[in-house]
C-alpha cells in the first residue's frame, strides 16, 4: 500500500518483510496476531517528534520504516544524540515500563512509519505472553549496555578523531545505511550519509566546526571520500588503528 512520502505501508505484522530478530518482529504467530490488534499505525514526515524528553510516557513506538534520532539536552541547551534508531527498534521502552518520564526526545530524521502501543496494552501484552516479557527484559539490558558504552566513549575518549573513527566503524557495520559490505577491512565501503555535521557533532560530543575539520583531515589521509550523500570508507583497518591508538 502506497502512502505519503513515498512509503510502502506495512499494515500486517504477519506479512511484514522486515521480520527479523527485533523485539516485536519475530514472535510466535499468536503473539504477532495480538500485536496487530493492540497497535495503531501512522506515517511521519522528517523532523516529526514521536515524544519529547520529560514527557509522561503514553506508550512505545515500534519503528517500522525510516530512522529516528534519540537525543537528550542540558539546561544550557547542549544536545547529545544517544542513538540513531532504525526499523525494528522499540522507542520509549524503559520509560513506558517504569512509568517514568521519557529520558530522551525521539525525532524522525527521514519519513517513516511507526506503530504506537499504549502503556496499558503493552503491560497486558507482556503478562499474556511470557516470551514477550523475556524479550523486553533482554532489550532493556541491551539498552543499558549501549548507554554504558556511550558513556565510556564520551567520557573516557579524549580525542575527537578517535570518537569520529569509532562512529564511522559503527556505521560500517550497520546494514541499514551500508550499501555494500567489504570482504575485508582494506576494501572501500559505501554508506548513506543523511546526518548533518551538527548532528554528527551531537553524537560524538564535539562541535560542528570540529566535525567539518575531521572530515577534511580524514579525506586528506584518504581514509574516506564523499560523493554527494554517499560516504565511502576507504579502509576500516586504518580507522581501527585510530580507535586502538
**Spelled out in words, what is the top-level CATH class assigned to the domain 4-155?**
mainly beta
pLDDT score, position 19 = 60
pLDDT score, position 182 = 57
Report field, pTM of the whole predicted structure over 0.85: no
With 0-12 / 13-18 / 19 or more C-beta atoms within 10 angstroms meaning exposed / middle / buried, residue 110 is middle
Q: Which of 200, 181, 182 is nearest to 81 (CA)?
A: 200
Question: Can you tell me the distance from the alpha carbon of 201 to that of 212, in angstroms, rounded to the nearest whole number?
Answer: 9
Q: Which of 144, 140, 99 is nearest to 118 (CA)?
A: 99
Q: In the chain, where does the domain assigned CATH 2.60.120.10 lie?
A: 4-155
Query: pLDDT tens string for the chain (245 positions)?
Result: 556 666 677 777 766 766 666 778 778 889 989 999 999 999 999 999 999 999 999 999 999 989 999 999 988 878 889 999 988 899 999 999 999 999 999 999 999 999 999 999 999 999 999 999 999 999 999 888 888 777 776 666 668 999 999 899 988 887 556 666 555 556 788 988 888 999 999 998 899 999 999 999 999 999 999 888 899 999 889 999 888 87
pLDDT score, position 152 = 73
pLDDT score, position 185 = 58
Q: In the chain, where does the domain assigned CATH 1.10.10.10 lie?
A: 158-244
Q: 158-244 has which fold?
A: Arc Repressor Mutant, subunit A (1.10.10)
Question: Can you tell me the distance from the alpha carbon of 219 to that of 150, in angstroms, rounded to the nearest whole number?
Answer: 26
Q: Where are the alpha helices (DSSP H) in 88-129?
A: 93-98, 119-128
Amino acid at each position: 500500500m502506497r502512502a505519503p512520502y513515498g512509503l510502502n505501508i506495512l499494515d500486517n505484522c504477519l506479512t511484514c518483510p522486515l521480520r527479523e530478530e527485533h523485539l516485536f518482529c519475530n514472535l510466535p504467530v499468536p503473539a504477532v496476531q495480538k500485536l496487530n490488534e493492540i497497535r495503531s499505525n501512522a506515517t511521519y514526515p522528517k523532523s516529526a517528534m514521536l515524544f519529547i524528553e520529560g514527557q509522561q510516557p503514553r506508550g512505545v513506538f515500534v519503528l517500522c520504516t525510516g530512522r529516528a534520532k534519540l537525543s537528550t539536552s542540558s539546561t544550557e541547551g547542549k544536545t547529545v544524540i544517544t542513538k540513531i534508531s532504525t526499523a525494528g527498534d522499540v522507542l520509549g521502552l524503559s520509560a513506558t515500563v517504569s512509568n517514568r518520564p521519557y529520558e530522551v526526545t525521539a525525532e524522525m530524521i527521514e519519513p517513516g512509519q511507526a506503530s504506537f502501543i499504549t502503556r496499558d496494552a503493552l503491560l497486558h501484552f507482556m503478562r499474556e505472553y511470557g516470551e514477550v516479557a523475556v524479550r523486553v527484559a533482554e532489550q532493556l539490558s541491551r539498552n543499558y549496555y549501549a548507554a554504558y558504552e556511550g558513556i565510556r566513549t564520551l567520557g573516557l575518549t579524549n580525542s575527537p578523531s578517535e570518537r569520529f573513527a569509532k562512529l564511522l566503524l559503527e556505521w560500517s557495520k550497520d546494514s541499514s545505511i551500508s550499501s555494500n559490505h567489504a570482504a575485508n577491512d582494506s576494501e572501500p565501503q559505501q554508506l548513506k550519509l543523511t546526518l548533518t555535521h551538527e548532528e554528527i557533532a551531537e553524537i560524538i560530543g564535539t562541535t560542528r566546526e570540529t566535525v567539518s575539520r575531521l572530515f577534511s583531515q580524514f579525506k586528506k589521509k584518504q581514509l574516506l571520500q564523499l560523493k554527494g550523500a554517499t560516504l565511502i570508507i576507504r579502509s576500516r583497518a586504518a580507522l581501527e588503528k585510530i580507535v586502538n591508538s
